[in-house]
């Protein structure tokens, strides 16, 4: 009894607890967060942006929309914190203090957030450029090194939906037979309405699938025609010239039924999936992304200089040294670098990786082992002169063609060629390549080029490991491009919040 008495006395001493009781609470938005909270700092950054391009997208008619500035803050902060789904951002706007602060208590639902994102995809490049300039203003861009690389992100599409023209033709033929069988089957008059409705819905679904397959077939036929024309244009003018590798059969070109704009790209782990290629030019000081680009093919030498020019345009200054991997190097790029550019480039090419091996992939002597003498004569590794055949134009340049004279009686022919005579084509731009290789092999070149990985790979690693961005949420090339811009804007905002003195911003 005494124990129960003590328990009652203790319980009566507690503060009153009644979940059914109503109460009033006054929330001051400015008191929700600390002064140095990232949401406050991001709010200040967005306040400095010129958002005229967003305002002009809206009209005076209809119901008043949410303020674009508020929507932009919520969207940017969602990507800033790793919330890439509009539904998750919607939940955060309802329950999280940092999002409530940015939205001032307003709660746009996920459809409204997504509609805002879709409407303003075309305005994101302008906002990205403004943010890069703010980074320059905050002294976050050093202009010492600009590292360039690409990352492959899986599209929002099932790889099992990849179809070739031959497979689609087979599926269309089979689907036509199935539709015909369903239509030929007569239902008895005493069949229930549910059975009749089921038959109608089945036919409707099959017809929709048929229409989609027909649309994909037309696209693939266009791609196949372009591929055939491209193969014809590649025919060499000189018959003795070395033939190119086996061309891809146009009938085997694949397209994805879910996202028809996504190409089939190879990832680092060897998988071939519907994906998009995203390229970034990052500064070495704090990893600010100064220029970005989305393509539907792997990294290519033609992407290098446009990215450098875009970084120069966005920052309004010139970078001293440009670093890129071998995917961006080629003879044409080396020639343009030598003749047109003032920056110091450190860019290898594919042949640079295998140059130190004695043999090429086919197990034969490499082109670099054929040397010119002072008189301009080309000699093979067996020290025999090679006959000059002529020149042919290809890829806007000229290539000299040489053929062996006495290959049949050579003791090392098996190391050189499986044909009767070895044919070698020498590009006149080879000297530009040799100069780049010499620079990369020097101690100074090795020191500079080793900085490429830590600069650019950290940016891509943050995307995929820390933010979990290994697959697109949106479908289509333009939407995938906009999604990548949002990722890069969020990346730059994180660097600004972490390293920048935001008191220097002019509001």
Question: For position 460, what pLDDT does the model report?
Answer: 93
Top mean-pLDDT range of 57-71, 375-389, 480-494 = 480-494
Same domain flag for 228 and 270: no
| CA atoms of 409 and 406, how far apart (whole Å) | 6
Question: For position 74, what pLDDT does the model report?
Answer: 97
Tokens read off for 502: 């935001």
- Among 238, 256, 274, the domain-final residue is 256
| CA atoms of 134 and 128, how far apart (whole Å) | 10
Burial group, residue 219, by CB count within 10 angstroms (0-12, 13-18, 19+):
middle
| CA atoms of 291 and 319, how far apart (whole Å) | 12
Question: For position 383, what pLDDT does the model report?
Answer: 82
- Among 213, 240, 256, the domain-final residue is 256
Question: For position 60, what pLDDT does the model report?
Answer: 76
**121 — pLDDT class (breaks 50, 70, 90):** very high
Tokens 């390549």 belong to 433
**308 — pLDDT class (breaks 50, 70, 90):** very high
Top mean-pLDDT range of 135-139, 360-364, 388-392, 427-431 = 135-139
Classify residue 487: in a domain, yes or no: no
**446 — pLDDT class (breaks 50, 70, 90):** very high
More confident residue, 230 or 422: 422
Same domain flag for 346 and 401: no
Classify residue 281: in a domain, yes or no: yes
Same domain flag for 280 and 366: no
Determine the average pLDDT of the residues in 24-32: 80
Same domain flag for 324 and 270: yes
Least trusted range by pLDDT, from 186-195, 274-283, 497-506 = 186-195
Same domain flag for 87 and 222: no
Same domain flag for 60 and 85: yes
User: Are 175 and 349 in contact, with CB atoms under 8 Å apart?
Assistant: no
Same domain flag for 166 and 250: yes
Classify residue 502: in a domain, yes or no: no
Question: For position 365, what pLDDT does the model report?
Answer: 79
| CA atoms of 242 and 360, how far apart (whole Å) | 16
Q: Determine the 3-state secondary structure of 258 from DSSP.
A: coil
User: Are 500 and 493 in contact, with CB atoms under 8 Å apart?
Assistant: no
Least trusted range by pLDDT, from 298-307, 359-368, 406-415 = 359-368
Find the helix packing angle between 68-80 and 86-95, rounded to 10°. 100
More confident residue, 245 or 137: 137
The pLDDT of residue 472 is above 50: yes
| CA atoms of 151 and 325, how far apart (whole Å) | 12
Classify residue 366: in a domain, yes or no: yes
User: Are 102 and 77 in contact, with CB atoms under 8 Å apart?
Assistant: yes
Of 57, 174, 206, 63, the residue nearest 117 (C-alpha)? 57
Instruction: Give the strand order in the sheet containing 423-427.
Output: 386-394, 397-404, 423-427
H-state helical runs in 56-104: 68-80, 86-95, 97-103
User: In the chain, what percentage of residues exceed pLDDT 70?
Assistant: 88
Classify residue 505: in a domain, yes or no: no
User: Are 487 and 493 in contact, with CB atoms under 8 Å apart?
Assistant: no
Tokens 């497979």 belong to 167
Q: Tally the domains of the chain.
A: 4
| CA atoms of 133 and 498, how far apart (whole Å) | 17
Determine the average pLDDT of the residues in 466-484: 94
Question: For position 235, what pLDDT does the model report?
Answer: 47
Classify residue 16: in a domain, yes or no: no
Top mean-pLDDT range of 162-176, 310-324, 409-423 = 310-324
Question: For position 156, what pLDDT does the model report?
Answer: 92
Question: For position 55, what pLDDT does the model report?
Answer: 92
Same domain flag for 348 and 359: no
The per-residue pLDDT for range 61-82, each reduced to its tens digit, is 778 899 999 999 999 999 999 9
Question: For position 276, what pLDDT does the model report?
Answer: 95
| CA atoms of 489 and 382, how far apart (whole Å) | 58
User: Please, what is the average pLDDT of the chain?
Assistant: 84
Listed in sequence order, the residues at least 6 apart from 151 whose beta carbon sits closer than 8 Å to its beta carbon are 277, 278, 280, 460, 463, 464
| CA atoms of 340 and 430, how far apart (whole Å) | 17
Same domain flag for 239 and 96: no
The pLDDT of residue 122 is above 90: yes
Rounded to 5 degrees, what are φ and ψ at 93? -65, -30
The pLDDT of residue 210 is above 60: yes
Tokens 């950054």 belong to 45
Determine the average pLDDT of the residues in 162-166: 75
Question: For position 250, what pLDDT does the model report?
Answer: 57
Determine the average pLDDT of the residues in 291-318: 95
Determine the average pLDDT of the residues in 377-396: 77
The pLDDT of residue 363 is above 70: no
User: Are 391 and 401 in contact, with CB atoms under 8 Å apart?
Assistant: yes
Same domain flag for 328 and 399: no
Question: For position 237, what pLDDT does the model report?
Answer: 39
Classify residue 310: in a domain, yes or no: yes
Question: For position 50, what pLDDT does the model report?
Answer: 93
Beta bridge partners of 346: 323
Of 433, 422, 413, the residue nearest 345 (C-alpha)? 433
Question: For position 358, what pLDDT does the model report?
Answer: 46
Rounded to 5 degrees, what are φ and ψ at 164? -100, 170
Is 0.85 surpassed by the pTM of this model? no
Same domain flag for 252 and 170: yes
Determine the average pLDDT of the residues in 344-367: 72
Tokens read off for 336: 């343009």
Least trusted range by pLDDT, from 32-46, 308-322, 427-441 = 427-441
Same domain flag for 470 and 325: yes
> Could you give the angle at the alpha carbon of 221 between the alpha carbons of 219 and 227, nearest 5°?
105
Q: Hey, how many other C-beta atoms are within 10 angstroms of the C-beta on 253?
A: 18
The pLDDT of residue 240 is above 70: no
Give the domain extent around 48.
27-119
Determine the average pLDDT of the residues in 287-301: 95
Determine the average pLDDT of the residues in 283-300: 95
Classify residue 49: in a domain, yes or no: yes
Least trusted range by pLDDT, from 395-399, 417-421, 445-449 = 395-399
The pLDDT of residue 10 is above 80: no
DSSP string, 175-230: HHHHHHHHHH-PPPTTS-HHHHHHHHHHHHHHHHHHHHHHHHHHHHHHHHHHHHHH
**232 — pLDDT class (breaks 50, 70, 90):** low
Tokens 């190097």 belong to 329
Q: What is the CATH number of the domain that holds 460?
A: 3.30.420
| CA atoms of 274 and 160, how far apart (whole Å) | 10
- Among 225, 256, 287, the domain-final residue is 256
Residue 435 gets which letter from DSSP?
Answer: H
């Amino acid at each position: 009894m005494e124990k129960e008495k003590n328990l009652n006395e203790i319980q009566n001493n507690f503060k009153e607890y009644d979940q059914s009781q109503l109460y009033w609470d006054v929330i001051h938005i400015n008191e929700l967060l600390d002064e140095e909270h990232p949401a406050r700092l991001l709010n200040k950054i967005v306040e400095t942006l010129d958002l005229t391009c967003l305002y002009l997208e809206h009209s005076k008619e209809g119901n008043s929309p949410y303020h674009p500035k508020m929507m932009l803050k919520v969207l940017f902060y969602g990507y800033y914190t790793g919330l890439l789904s509009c539904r998750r951002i919607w939940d955060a706007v309802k329950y999280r203090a940092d999002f409530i602060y940015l939205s001032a208590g307003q709660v746009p639902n996920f459809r409204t957030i997504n509609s805002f994102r879709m409407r303003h995809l075309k305005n994101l490049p302008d906002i990205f450029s403004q943010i890069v300039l703010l980074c320059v203003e905050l002294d976050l861009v050093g202009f010492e090194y600009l590292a360039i690389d690409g990352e492959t992100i899986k599209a929002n599409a099932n790889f099992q939906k990849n179809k070739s023209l031959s497979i689609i033709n087979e599926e269309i033929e089979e689907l036509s037979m199935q539709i015909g069988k369903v239509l030929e089957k007569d239902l008895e008059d005493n069949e229930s309405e549910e059975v009749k409705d089921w038959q109608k819905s089945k036919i409707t679904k099959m017809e929709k699938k048929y229409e989609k397959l027909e649309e994909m077939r037309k696209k693939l036929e266009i791609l196949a025609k372009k591929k055939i024309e491209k193969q014809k244009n590649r025919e060499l003018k000189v018959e003795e010239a070395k033939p190119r590798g086996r061309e891809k059969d146009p009938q085997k070109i694949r397209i994805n039924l879910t996202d028809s704009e996504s190409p089939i790209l190879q990832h680092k782990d060897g998988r071939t999936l519907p994906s998009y290629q995203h390229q970034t030019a990052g500064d070495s000081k704090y990893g600010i992304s100064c220029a970005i680009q989305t393509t539907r093919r792997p990294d290519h030498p033609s992407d290098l200089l446009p990215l450098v020019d875009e970084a120069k345009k966005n920052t309004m200054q010139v970078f001293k040294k440009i670093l890129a991997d071998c995917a961006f190097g080629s003879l044409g790029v080396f020639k343009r670098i030598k003749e047109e550019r003032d920056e110091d480039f450190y860019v290898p090419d594919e042949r640079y990786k295998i140059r130190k091996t004695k043999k090429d992939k086919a197990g034969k002597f490499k082109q670099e082992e054929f040397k010119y003498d002072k008189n301009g004569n080309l000699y093979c590794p067996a020290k025999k002169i090679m006959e000059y055949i002529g020149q042919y134009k290809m890829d806007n340049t000229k290539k000299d063609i040489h053929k062996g004279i006495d290959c049949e009686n050579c003791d090392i022919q098996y190391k050189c060629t499986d044909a009767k005579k070895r044919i070698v084509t020498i590009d006149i731009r080879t000297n530009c390549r040799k100069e780049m290789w010499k620079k990369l092999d020097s101690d100074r070149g090795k020191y500079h080029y080793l900085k490429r990985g830590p600069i650019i790979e950290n940016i891509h690693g943050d995307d995929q490991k820390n933010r979990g961005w290994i697959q697109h949420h949106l479908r289509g090339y333009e939407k995938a491009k906009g999604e990548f811009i949002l990722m890069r804007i969020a990346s730059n905002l994180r660097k600004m919040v972490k390293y920048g003195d935001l008191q220097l911003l002019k509001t």
